[in-house]
Amino acid sequence: MKRIKFFFVCFCLVLSVVPALAVDDIYGLQAEAQAGDVKAQFRLGRIYETGEEGYQDPYESARWYAMAAAQGLREAQLNLGRMYAQGRGVAQDYAKAVELYLLAAEQEQAEAQTNLAILYLQGEGIAQSLADAVKWFRRGADNGNAVAQYSLALLYQSGEAIPKNIPQALKYYELAAAQGHMLAQVAAGDLLFFGEGVPKDFVAAAKWYRLAAERGDSRSQQQLGDLYYIGEGVGQDFAAAASWYRKAAEQGEAGAQYILGVLYAEGKGVVQDDAVAVYWYRKAADKGVAEAQASLGLMYRQGRGLKQSDKQAFFWFEKAGKQGETTAQFNLADHYYRGLGVIPDMIKSYSWLLLAAEGGNAEAAVVLPKVKETLTEIEVSMATVQAKTYRKAYSR
């Protein structure tokens, strides 16, 4: 059965389930553990795993966890199961990890339930079973595990293992998001922003995006910038929009780079600066953002923020036009018509004009019949065929 891939943390580490015990004398603690004190055994396992108190030895950690696990301590069963899954201190053995996770999971240990679900989902150490994966994700989610809640939400959204149910997906995303799960915060924000299977709610979307954005998530920073830009869910504030776009742009978000360029070109929320606009347009254009390529072409054509160049303008208009950007297509038609940075070609001019008009460009629709009058039937036919070729290329 095909493995299903999800973005979640696969194996959870529990470090603070049992109250810490004073470690003035490691040997004294070992004596208590040897005498059968389960808390001391677990405490030693933790110390040797994390390097607390200056001691770190994964083999000793596994040994003490095994003693505590044998006495039924669910946290020890969880941690030892994780060590088997990772091959730390013991030989990697997913089947043994499953066995230990199951013991802890049956005691309602939420992390163990979640890890067990992941192994069922991936078919590691046990036969793959989507039904069992869902069962354990649900139990882990009901016990408050954020990873389980996020994973269950993914399953509801995808409809791969359970019937697709976007409201349920949103419910579990929000449960995980409320616990600080950043991917869940982004996913909840997206569902509410785009209204995918649930009513749009820009106020709630802004809340979740902000939490993720403040933790550095670049997509959320861009989305929050969008909300400030359009004034949905938050008051319209171009300065705030620019601030969030800049944070996302500096992390490489191409869409944010483009819109930040627009803000600088128009002087919205920032001091108008064509050179800075060109800087951000180029960043996004180099990543293939058609709107940025069209805007950079226009800056070259007008000589704003850089040296005027019809050839460079044509270069960027062509890149954008071949992606279906209608403003660039209209400008390409004009360049071919007037021979700006390229040899004049009425057939190519008309072909790009056709595409721009077809894509909804109002200026192209007005000019189209006037240009057609200057062409022969054969030239119109050749331009139509050429337009079809261009259209196929960017419609793939």
> Residue 93 is part of a domain; what is its CATH number?
1.25.40.10
Domain range for residue 4?
Answer: 1-128
Res 12: pLDDT = 42
35, part of any domain: yes
Taking 60 as the threshold, does the pLDDT of residue 4 lie above it? no
Q: Are 215 and 184 in contact (CB under 8 A)?
A: no
| DSSP 8-state code for residue 288 | T
Res 71: pLDDT = 97
Domain count of the chain?
1
Residues in the chain: 396
117, part of any domain: yes
Res 25: pLDDT = 75
283, part of any domain: no
63, part of any domain: yes
Q: What is the pTM of this model?
A: 0.85
Confidence band, pLDDT 50/70/90 cuts, at residue 374: very high
Q: Taking residues 133-139, what's their average pLDDT?
A: 98
State how far the Cα of 353 lies from the Cα of 348, in Å rounded to an integer.
Answer: 8
115, part of any domain: yes
Query: pLDDT tens across 25-63, in order?
Result: 788 999 999 999 999 999 999 999 998 878 899 999 999
Q: Taking residues 291-314, what's their average pLDDT?
A: 98
Read out DSSP for 38-65?
A: HHHHHHHHHHHHHTGGG---HHHHHHHH
Query: pLDDT tens across 220-232, in order?
Result: 999 999 999 999 9
Read out DSSP for 249-280?
A: HHTT-HHHHHHHHHHHHHTSSS---HHHHHHH
297, part of any domain: no
181, part of any domain: no
289, part of any domain: no
